[in-house]
Amino acid sequence: MSGSPESPSENGSGNQNAPKTPRKDRSQSGGSFWYLLVAGMLAAVLFSVVTRGYKGEKVEYSEFIQRVRDKSLRQDQVHELKITEAWMTWQDQSKDAVTTGKATLVRRYYTPLLSASEQTRNELCQLLDQASIKYGFSEPAPEWQQMLPLLATTLLLVGGFIFVLRRVGGAGSAMSFGRSRGRLYAQEDVQVTFNDVAGIDEAVEELKEVVEFLKTPQKYQALGGRIPRGVLLVGPPGTGKTMLAKAVAGEAGVPFFGLSGSDFVEMYVGVGAARVRDMFQQALQRSPAIIFIDELDALGKVRGSGAPGGHDEREQTLNALLVEMDGFGTDHSVIVMGATNRPETLDPALMRPGRFDRHVLVDRPDIKGREKILNVHARRIKMSDEVDLKRVAKLTPGFVGADLANLVNEAALLSARREDKRVTMKSFEDGIERVMAGLEKTSRIIVEDVKRRVACHESGHALVAASLPHTDPVHKISIIPRGMGALGYMLQLPEDDRELLTQSELQSRLAVLLGGIAAEQIVYNETSTGAQNDLQRCSDLARRMVTEFGMSPRMGRMYYSDAQRSPFLAGSGAIVSESMHAEATRREIDLEVKRLVDEAYRTAQETLTSQRTTLERLTADLIEMETMSAEHMHRVIEENRRGPKLMTVPGAALETPAEARGDDSQQQDTSGDGDRSVQIV
DSSP per-residue string spanning 474-524: EEEEE-S-BTTTB--EEEE--SS--S---HHHHHHHHHHHTHHHHHHHHHH
Active site (annotated) includes residue 123: no
With 0-12 / 13-18 / 19 or more C-beta atoms within 10 angstroms meaning exposed / middle / buried, residue 399 is: buried
The runs of H, that is alpha helices, within 195-270 are: 201-215, 217-221, 241-252
Between CA 135 and CA 256 the distance in angstroms is: 74
- Which residues make Cβ contacts (< 8 Å) with residue 525, sequence separation at least 6? 653, 655, 657
Q: Shortest CA distance to 408 belongs to which of 423, 390, 418?
A: 423
Residue 607 CB neighbour total at 10 angstroms: 22
Query: What's the start-to-end Cα distance of the chain, in Å?
Result: 29
- Maximum Cα interatomic distance, the chain, rounded to a whole number of Å: 138
Which entry of 251, 458, 520, 616 is annotated as an active-site residue? Answer: 458
Q: How far is CA 621 from CA 156, 518, 650, 669, in A?
A: 80, 19, 13, 20
Rounded to 5 degrees, what are φ and ψ at 112?
-70, 140
Q: Give strand ranges (E) for 213-363.
A: 230-234, 256-260, 289-294, 334-340, 358-361
Residue 449 backbone dihedrals phi, psi, to 5 degrees = -65, -40
Distance CA 586, CA 595 (A): 14
Helix (H, G, I), strand (E, B) or coil at 165: helix
Q: Is there a contact between 270 and 312 (Cβ–Cβ < 8 Å)?
A: no
Look up residue 239 and give its DSSP letter. S
Instruction: Give the closest residue to 258 by CA, choosing from 360, 358, 195, 181.
Output: 181
User: What distance in Å separates the CA atoms of residue 664 and residue 13, rounded to the nearest whole number?
Assistant: 65
What is the three-class DSSP state of 256? strand
What whole-number distance in Å separates Cα of residue 561 and Cα of residue 670? 27
Q: Identify which of 372, 291, 366, 368 has the alpha carbon closest to the alpha carbon of residue 328.
A: 291
Give the sheet arrangement for strand 230-234, strand by strand: 183-185, 256-260, 289-294, 334-340, 230-234, 358-361
Distance separating alpha carbons of residues 623 and 617, to the nearest angstrom:
10
Cα angle at 411 between 451 and 630, to 5 degrees? 45
Whether the link from the prior residue into 288 is cis, omega within 30° of 0, is yes
What is the C-alpha separation between 252 and 20, in angstroms, rounded? 13
Q: Could you give the residue numbers annotated as active site?
A: 458
